[in-house]
Amino acid sequence: MHIINIAQAGVITDAPSVSDIGMKVLFFLLSVAGIVAIIFLVLAGVKYFLAVGDEKKMQDAKKSATFAIVGIILAMGSFVLMMAVGQFFK
């Protein structure tokens, strides 16, 4: 009985391709990177708010915000690049 169920499971062409699996993994990783960058941007805003006029803390918060924005830009740029490469290989 078990062998018959396996034989009727489908052909190997129904399996996702390696490129599809790779794209899904990259989508997930870029989504995580974007979410983390947005969280760091919010934390930088909180640090700036809590600096209360201390110039060193304000500069540190501005630097954190800059790095978070660069992270968001890199994640979005990587997403666009990945979509372009994915369309090229389809």
Cβ count near 81 (within 10 Å): 10
Segments in the chain forming alpha helices (H): 2-7, 18-50, 55-89
Six-digit token string for 30: 């870029």
pLDDT class for 62, splitting at 50, 70, 90?
Answer: very high
pLDDT of residue 39: 94
Give the tens place of pLDDT for each residue, 9-50.
556 666 777 777 878 888 898 889 889 988 999 999 999 999
Domain boundaries, the chain: 16-89
Which amino acid does the sequence have at 46?
V
Q: Average of pLDDT values for 49-69?
A: 92
